[in-house]
Amino acid sequence: MQFEKRAVRLGDIRPSGQNPREDFGDIGALARSIEATGGEPLNPPVVVADGNVFRIVDGERRYRALSSIYGEDREVSALVAESMDEANELVAMLATDDKRQLTEAERARGVQQMLVLGIDEQRIERASRATAGQIRAARKLRGRIDAGVQVTLEQLEAASAFDDEKDVEAVLAAGDGWAGKADQIRRRNEREEAKAEDYDAFGDAGIPVVKERPEGSNYVDWIALGGAAAKLERNELALHPGAVAVAEGGYWYLYEPDDGSGAEPEKTEEEIRAEQEAEREEAALKDLYRRMVGFITSGAFTMPDDLKRIVREARVEPVVVSDAIGGDFCSLGGGERIASARREFMARLGPSGPSEYEAGFRLMAAARDMVRLNSSYSGDDAEGWLEHWELFRSAGFEAGGDDEWLLARVQESAKEEEKDE
């Protein structure tokens, strides 16, 4: 499609003689709206060049409103097509359908198209309800979306955060699974950054990083990836000269030469693995809890039937002021009047739909029990933990971080608990 956005003098624009509209509505109100949003309409008039003048194909009301503001000598933005066919095609592309809301993918394409047309970012933000970050992402990745590919503004923003072109392409091509793909890449990058920081920390401490355990060396300790600097600064490692670090998976293993001094018995591989998994589980639970709290407090959750049921079951009978309704439990019939008032309240209001506050309160309680999985104080058993997990998932919570690993671990624990019963 051949068109360009140009500054055109209002006095050189000519209304279309083919426009069937006789009533152009409240031009004054439209003019005030244009002034309030930057001085020009979001969609410039579409015109086709005809000699020294420009004939309107779409946007006569906008043209009239602009003329009422500025007069004929002011230059305004217009989309100038080379032919009537191209102008009509452009009008069809820019036309909006008020009968339905745009999909997220359509909204993303609309933002990119407005950027192509040179529309100011603040005006795009007002018109599309996109964030400034999403608009910057759309600008950065403009032209990267193949025809027919459905990409949302959130997806564009996530993809734009990566520097590696392969990572950007992976997120854009991930479809509905873009959030998981972005999280996977983000965690991989974090591991690589943590490993680089550990290399520096070991270098500063004079500890070489080698590819494999030296022959005849003794195991000393392990450090989770990214934790070398902190552990070395706290002097938690009693290392002798000649100690080395070996990277394996998400951990560093530290070894030192066997000097024959009778070191403590080396931990078995099973013991080391158990320590590492316990530390990983604790970190995963805390990370999950932080994200669940953010999910709840943002109000992003839905109210599935299970959550509504839990809210209703947790409701308690209200306190009734006995003497105000004619009796107390000690008087004849007093207890029944109090009980009747409570029953009527619960019958009418107990089954009512839960408020967002009640639902959020119950989700907060569930998240609290989940993070206490291994706590002796109100700790949650594995089966209960899994029930809470399903509740959050049904309310719209998306898995991330180490959730899948943690879920598999709790499922295994639940099986063991079932065997022990």
CATH, residue 55:
3.90.1530.10
- How confident is the model at residue 388, as a pLDDT? 93
Same structural domain for residues 258 and 377?
Answer: no
Which amino acid belongs to residue 198? D
Three-class secondary structure of residue 48 per DSSP: strand
Q: Evaluate whether residue 371 is within a structural domain.
A: yes
Q: How far apart are the C-alpha atoms of 47 and 78, rounded to whole Å?
A: 7
Q: Evaluate whether residue 328 is within a structural domain.
A: no
- How confident is the model at residue 392, as a pLDDT? 94
Q: How far apart are the C-alpha atoms of 252 and 249, rounded to whole Å?
A: 8
Q: Evaluate whether residue 161 is within a structural domain.
A: yes
Q: Evaluate whether residue 359 is within a structural domain.
A: yes
- How confident is the model at residue 12, as a pLDDT? 94
Q: Evaluate whether residue 26 is within a structural domain.
A: yes
Q: Evaluate whether residue 192 is within a structural domain.
A: no
356's tokens: 């967002």
**Structural domain ending residue among the three candidates 94, 119, 135:** 94
Same structural domain for residues 286 and 356?
Answer: yes
- Report whether 13 contacts 45 (CB < 8 A): yes
- Report whether 54 contacts 16 (CB < 8 A): no
**Structural domain ending residue among the three candidates 157, 173, 189:** 173
- How confident is the model at residue 359, as a pLDDT? 92
Q: How far apart are the C-alpha atoms of 356 and 311, rounded to whole Å?
A: 10
- Report whether 383 contacts 162 (CB < 8 A): no
Total number of domains constituting the chain: 4
Phi, psi torsion values for 129, nearest 5 degrees: 60, 20
Same structural domain for residues 55 and 126?
Answer: no
- Report whether 230 contacts 246 (CB < 8 A): no
Same structural domain for residues 113 and 84?
Answer: no
Q: Evaluate whether residue 271 is within a structural domain.
A: no
DSSP one-letter string for 134-172: HHHHHHHTTT-SPTT----HHHHHHHHT--SHHHHHHHH
**Structural domain ending residue among the three candidates 54, 69, 94:** 94
Largest CA distance in the chain: 102
Same structural domain for residues 139 and 161?
Answer: yes
Q: Name, in order, each residue with C-beta under 8 angstroms of 113's C-beta and a sequence gap of 6 or more.
A: 93
- Report whether 130 contacts 102 (CB < 8 A): no
- Report whether 368 contacts 296 (CB < 8 A): no
Torsion on CA atoms 216, 222, 227, 230, rounded to nearest 10: -80
Q: Evaluate whether residue 324 is within a structural domain.
A: no
- Report whether 69 contacts 34 (CB < 8 A): yes
How many residues in the chain? 421
- How confident is the model at residue 80, as a pLDDT? 86
Q: Name, in order, each residue with C-beta under 8 angstroms of 297's C-beta and a sequence gap of 6 or more.
A: 360
Same structural domain for residues 74 and 115?
Answer: no
Its domain, for residue 256, covers 198-266
Segment-wise mean pLDDT, segments of 10 residues, the chain, 421 residues: 78 73 73 77 82 85 90 90 61 43 70 70 74 85 66 86 88 82 85 86 89 85 83 77 84 81 66 82 88 87 90 79 56 65 80 88 92 62 89 90 87 79 60
Q: How far apart are the C-alpha atoms of 78 and 212, rounded to whole Å?
A: 67
Q: Is the pTM value of this prediction over 0.95?
A: no
Same structural domain for residues 305 and 396?
Answer: yes
Same structural domain for residues 359 and 310?
Answer: yes
Q: Name, in order, each residue with C-beta under 8 angstroms of 163's C-beta and a sequence gap of 6 or more.
A: none
Same structural domain for residues 283 and 402?
Answer: yes
Same structural domain for residues 287 and 381?
Answer: yes
44's tokens: 């410039």
Q: How far apart are the C-alpha atoms of 260 and 250, rounded to whole Å?
A: 30
- How confident is the model at residue 21, as a pLDDT? 53
- Report whether 202 contacts 228 (CB < 8 A): yes
Closest CA to 382 of 370, 365, 400: 370
- Report whether 86 contacts 3 (CB < 8 A): yes
Same structural domain for residues 358 and 311?
Answer: yes
Same structural domain for residues 76 and 160?
Answer: no
- How confident is the model at residue 130, as a pLDDT? 81
Instruction: Name 47's bridge partners.
Output: 56, 80
- How confident is the model at residue 1, as a pLDDT? 46
